[in-house]
């Protein structure tokens, strides 16, 4: 099958996250017909792996941050393993890593998950500390046992509806999981699958505003939001009250393009916006049920699609900077102060493998 990662084009410079061609018995993954296949200026999602030319604000990147190559721990846990940290995934890697939080010293991973991953886009941690990996290669959601970092495989749920790109849950082992699909099967637009360990994926939520989907978020009350683009390439946010029904497109959502989405402790939505070549923004909204109010907009130093906030003080946001092959940490708040760049780490990561996912353990309380 063809596996697509999230991609876009801006000012003639390709800033695709990753595009990987692979074979599987699961059938073909086809992008739907239409004018906006992974692009806010037109153009198609490529079916071949293309190494893009990156454009970034190099002056803002700390010196000495060149990738040192992957560190395949293959399930081993370093002696100084931490109970809490930051999970990191690369689209073209077969494992996901755990790093210590506060990694200004650019230390390597403290552990790696003891199961294989395949073409992950976004990753997440649930409210119980379990690790969620939407596995694009096997069309499944893999759950690693928490709350410690890099726990054993606890469950795998097949996603029969499409290619999973992101996931969100209060407790993935005992409750509902919202799974965002980039595209659905048989050339259909993306969707949100509603799944559980006990019942599997039992429903699939669609909306005309969702064409290609990036991020999904579910709050503690069981409401879902999907961050996507519509068939014309316009960024959209769709709310599914109770994670059911046909959804309602939010108003006041001013993002330029799609990206990941998280929920802050105060209930505000923290979204990542792929603004253009080599840059992006962290946009925070209140409300969005369905009327949004923009609370703050903060520039990022480079492109990223996915990221998540921490639990302690809810004042850090980690994002997967695929331009520079590193994790960028932003400090701030979702109450109106916005976010500013703090530091990056990349020891054990590689830009050639397309760094995408980043998730704190413990996560934001929502």
Q: According to the 3-state scheme, what is the secondary structure of the chain?
A: CEEECCCCEECCEECCCCEEECCCCCCCCCCCCCCECCCCCCECCCCCCCCCCCCCCHHHCCCCCCCCCCCCCCCCECCCCCCCEEEEEECCCCCEEEECCCCCCCCCCCEECCCCCCCECCCEECCCCCEEEEECCCCEEEEECCCCCCCCEEEEEECCCEEEEEEECCCCCCCCEEEEEEEEHHHCEEEEEEEECCCEEEEEECCCCCCEEEEEEECCCCCEEEEEECCCCCEEEEEEHHHCCCCEECECCCCCCCCCEEECCCCCEEEEEEEECCEEEEEEEEECCCEEEEEEEEEECCCCCCEEEECCCCCEEEEEECCCCEEEEEEEECCCCEEEEEEEECCCCCHHHCEEEEEEECECCC
pLDDT at residue 46 in the model:
25
Choose the weakest-confidence range: 65-69, 219-223, 264-268, 288-292.
65-69
pTM for this prediction: 0.84
Q: Are 291 and 249 in contact (CB under 8 A)?
A: no
Mean pLDDT of the chain: 84
Percent of the chain whose pLDDT exceeds 70 = 78
pLDDT at residue 275 in the model:
87
d(CA 285, CA 271) in angstroms, rounded, equals: 8
Number of domains in the chain: 1
Q: Are 243 and 224 in contact (CB under 8 A)?
A: yes
366, part of any domain: no
- For residue 340, what are the β-bridge partners? 331
What CATH number has the domain bearing residue 297? 2.120.10.30
Q: What is the mean pLDDT of residues 163-182?
A: 98
pLDDT in tens, 95-145: 999 999 999 999 999 999 999 999 999 999 999 999 999 999 999 999 999
Q: Is residue 54 scored above 80 in pLDDT?
A: no
d(CA 61, CA 285) in angstroms, rounded, equals: 27
pLDDT in tens, 323-361: 999 999 999 999 999 999 999 999 999 999 999 999 999
Q: Is 46 exposed, middle or buried (0-12, 13-18, 19+ CB in 10 A)?
A: middle
300, part of any domain: yes
Choose the weakest-confidence range: 35-49, 95-109, 309-323.
35-49
93, part of any domain: yes
174, part of any domain: yes
Query: Given pLDDT bands bounded at 50, 70 and 90, which one contains residue 313?
Result: very high
30, part of any domain: yes
- Prior bond of 290 cis (ω within 30°): yes
Distances (CA, A) of 251 to 43, 81, 226, 236, 263: 26, 44, 13, 9, 18
Q: Is residue 231 scored above 90 in pLDDT?
A: yes
Residues 6+ apart with CB under 8 A from 209: 228, 230, 236, 238, 247, 249
Choose the weakest-confidence range: 27-36, 90-99, 131-140.
27-36
Residues in the chain: 366
* Of residues 293, 256, 126, 134, the one with CA closest to residue 201: 134
Matching residue, tokens 């002056």: 59
The parent domain of residue 273 ranges over 2-361
Q: Are 269 and 288 in contact (CB under 8 A)?
A: yes
150, part of any domain: yes
d(CA 361, CA 366) in angstroms, rounded, equals: 13
Percent of the chain whose pLDDT exceeds 90 = 75
């Amino acid at each position: 099958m063809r596996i697509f990662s999230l991609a876009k084009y801006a000012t003639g410079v390709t800033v695709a996250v990753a595009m990987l061609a692979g074979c599987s018995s699961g059938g073909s993954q086809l992008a739907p017909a239409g004018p906006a296949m992974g692009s806010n200026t037109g153009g198609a999602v490529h079916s071949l792996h293309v190494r893009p030319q990156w454009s970034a604000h190099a002056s803002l990147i700390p010196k000495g941050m060149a990738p040192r190559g992957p560190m395949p721990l293959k399930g081993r846990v370093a002696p100084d393993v931490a109970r809490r940290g930051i999970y990191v995934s690369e689209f073209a890697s077969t494992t996901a890593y755990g790093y210590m939080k506060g990694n200004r010293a650019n230390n390597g991973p403290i552990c790696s998950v003891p199961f294989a991953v395949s073409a992950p886009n976004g990753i997440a941690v649930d409210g119980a500390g379990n690790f969620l990996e939407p596995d694009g290669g096997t069309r499944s959601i893999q759950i690693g046992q928490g709350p410690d970092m890099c726990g054993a495989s606890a469950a795998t749920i097949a996603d029969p509806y499409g290619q999973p790109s992101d996931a969100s849950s209060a407790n993935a082992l005992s409750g509902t999981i919202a799974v965002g699909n980039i595209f659905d099967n048989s050339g259909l637009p993306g969707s949100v699958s509603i799944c559980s360990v006990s019942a599997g994926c039992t429903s699939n939520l669609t909306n005309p505003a969702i064409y290609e989907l990036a991020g999904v978020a579910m709050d503690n009350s069981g409401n879902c939001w999907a961050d996507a683009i519509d068939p014309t390439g316009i960024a959209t946010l769709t709310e599914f009250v109770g994670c059911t029904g046909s959804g309602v497109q939010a108003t006041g959502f001013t993002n330029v393009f799609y990206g990941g989405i998280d929920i802050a402790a105060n209930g505000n939505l923290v979204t990542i916006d792929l603004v253009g070549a080599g840059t992006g923004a962290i946009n925070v909204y209140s409300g969005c049920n369905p009327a949004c109010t923009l609370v703050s907009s903060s520039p990022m130093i480079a492109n990223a699609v996915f990221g998540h906030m921490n639990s302690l003080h809810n004042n850090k946001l980690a994002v997967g900077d695929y331009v520079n092959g590193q994790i960028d940490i932003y400090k701030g708040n979702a109450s109106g102060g916005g976010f500013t760049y703090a530091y990056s780490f990349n020891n054990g990561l590689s830009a050639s493998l397309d760094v995408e996912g980043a998730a704190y353990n413990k996560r934001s309380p929502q």
